[in-house]
Amino acid sequence: MMRLISETLSEYMLYLLIKQPDMLPPGIGLVLYRDTCAEAKLFFESAAAWDPDHCDARRMLLGVNTTMEPSAVNGTRCRSVLFNGVILGKALRDLGDDLMWQMVAKVWEEMLTYAAGKCRGSTHLPQLSRGGELITMVWFLMAHMGVGDMYEINKRDGVPKLIVRGQ
């Protein structure tokens, strides 16, 4: 069950990154994604010499020597997180399936909650006319519960007011 939740949230966050980047807080997420895709392409092309079938990408990545820091291999200018992910994947496998998937699901939950709280309210409004996004529902739930960055409290009357900038 936790594996399904983790995979679903992972795919949803990737969907937001690629198709709805305005729904995520500004940052270097798209740059990280592009650099990581480029590095993965290079890795699998170069790996063709020792595994021409490419039958198991996971096995190939987990076979990478991770004793050196990724920045020592790629330099500090590379924004790829591919080999950091390999290191993390190896550490997670040591936890066992149940704990690993619980932890992964919790991280994706926190990432979705963080992104929802940092997303501008004005970004959610057009989504509502199209049925909304999960991140918008999380944003509304957080607003209803009074958590996140979407409130401004007037010092005179102490009443929180929901902020929707850009409208």
Contact 136, 128 (CB under 8 A): yes
Residue 102 lies in a domain: yes
Residue 50 lies in a domain: yes
Residue 133 lies in a domain: no
Residue 141 lies in a domain: no
Host domain of residue 105: 2-119
Q: How many domains does the chain have?
A: 1
Is the pLDDT score of 143 beyond 60?
yes
Long-range contacts of 15-21 (CB under 8 A, 24+ apart): 16/115, 16/133, 16/135, 20/133
Is the pLDDT score of 53 beyond 70?
no
pLDDT-based confidence at 76, cuts 50/70/90? Answer: low
Cα separation, 125 vs 22, in Å, equals 12
Which spans in the chain are helix H?
Answer: 2-19, 29-47, 57-62, 70-74, 82-93, 97-118, 121-128, 134-145
Q: What is the pLDDT of residue 10?
A: 93
Q: What is the pLDDT of residue 77?
A: 61
More confident residue, 102 or 40: 102
Average pLDDT of the chain?
A: 79
Cα separation, 42 vs 121, in Å, equals 39
Cα separation, 50 vs 83, in Å, equals 19
Residue 6 lies in a domain: yes
More confident residue, 64 or 136: 136
Contact 91, 130 (CB under 8 A): no
Q: What is the pLDDT of residue 153?
A: 53
Q: What is the pLDDT of residue 98?
A: 92
Residue 48 lies in a domain: yes
pLDDT-based confidence at 167, cuts 50/70/90? Answer: very low
Residue 47 lies in a domain: yes
Is the pLDDT score of 154 beyond 80?
no
Is the pLDDT score of 105 beyond 90?
yes
Mean pLDDT, residues 103-108: 94
Is the pLDDT score of 142 beyond 60?
yes
pLDDT-based confidence at 139, cuts 50/70/90? Answer: confident
Is the pLDDT score of 157 beyond 60?
no
Closest Cα to residue 112, out of 1, 15, 3?
15
